[in-house]
Amino acid sequence: MKTSVATILFIIVFAHVSSGQADNFPLKISLLAEDLYVYTTYQDVNGTRFPSNSMYLVTDIGVVLFDTPWDPTQFQPLLDSIAARHQKKVIYSISTHFHDDRTAGVDFLKAQGVRTYASKMTLALCAQKNENQPEYALRGNTKFVIGGRQFETYYPGEGHTKDNIVIWFPDEDVLFGGCLVKSTENQDIGNIADANLEAWGPAIAKLMKRYPEPQVVVPGHFGWTGKGALTHTLRLLEEHQKK
């Protein structure tokens, strides 16, 4: 049975704090749907406190992370918060591309016994770019059933980076677009240092065809509301091309 999505039902930041206070803390955890959470960490970018969204799924046998904290000071607090909230350990992580906002915590997780995964392309780029490298390679687009919960990885083509993948949660109708997808709060296309601008639009179009009715699309940075982030990303790409 599909669960209804409530964009942010509550926020956990170590101990209980009000949502108004949460933005002042380095770790924010938001319930998206039953057993599915967005967690946000921050880094200073040109003097601005910049949020990075990752996710986790609670299963019967443990917790699966999708991307790692960006802020190294939050590696252990995230695991502690998950253990306190769910009485479970993190057992797997999947990084959606090679940039450090997706992979910064990989070595820490490996030291804790977490099995860390990414695509073969991401593993190669991590080695080439001297980023923390997950241990295991995904075998292309893969459907998982772990501890009674389902999700799948999908590679729609190059965009923000040549290796960016997304995660689809079919029971919740939630798409984690990562940095391939821009938040409706964004006013420009952002970091394009490793982007393929020609392929990015077609990659978004593939996502829209494959997942036509997501309840929520979670971008790699900033807020999320419904599925408007996909069309907004296309709009930003079009505007960038006109400049």
The CA-based angle 199-100-178, given to 5 degrees, is 45
Cβ atoms < 10 Å from Cβ of 204: 24
Residue 53 annotated to the active site: no
Instruction: Specify whether 221 is catalytic.
Output: no
Looking at 35, 67, 71, 101, which residue is catalytic?
101
Q: Does the active-site annotation cover 60?
A: no
Which spans in 15-131 are helix H? 19-22, 75-86, 100-103, 106-111, 120-129
Catalytic residue among 141, 186, 191, 196: 191
35, 99, 132, 163: which is the annotated catalytic residue? Answer: 99
Of 53, 71, 160, 221, the active-site residue reads 160
**Catalytic residue status for 99:** yes
Exactly one of 67, 97, 132, 194 is catalytic; name it: 97
Is the separation of the CB atoms in 37 and 20 below 8 Å?
no
Catalytic residue check, 16: no
- CA–CA distances in Å: residue 218 to residues 30, 129, 188: 12, 26, 17
Sheet holding 62-66, edge to edge: 11-12, 27-33, 36-45, 48-59, 62-66, 90-94, 115-119, 136-138
**Cβ-contact 108, 100 below 8 angstroms:** no
- Catalytic annotation, residues: 97, 99, 101, 160, 191
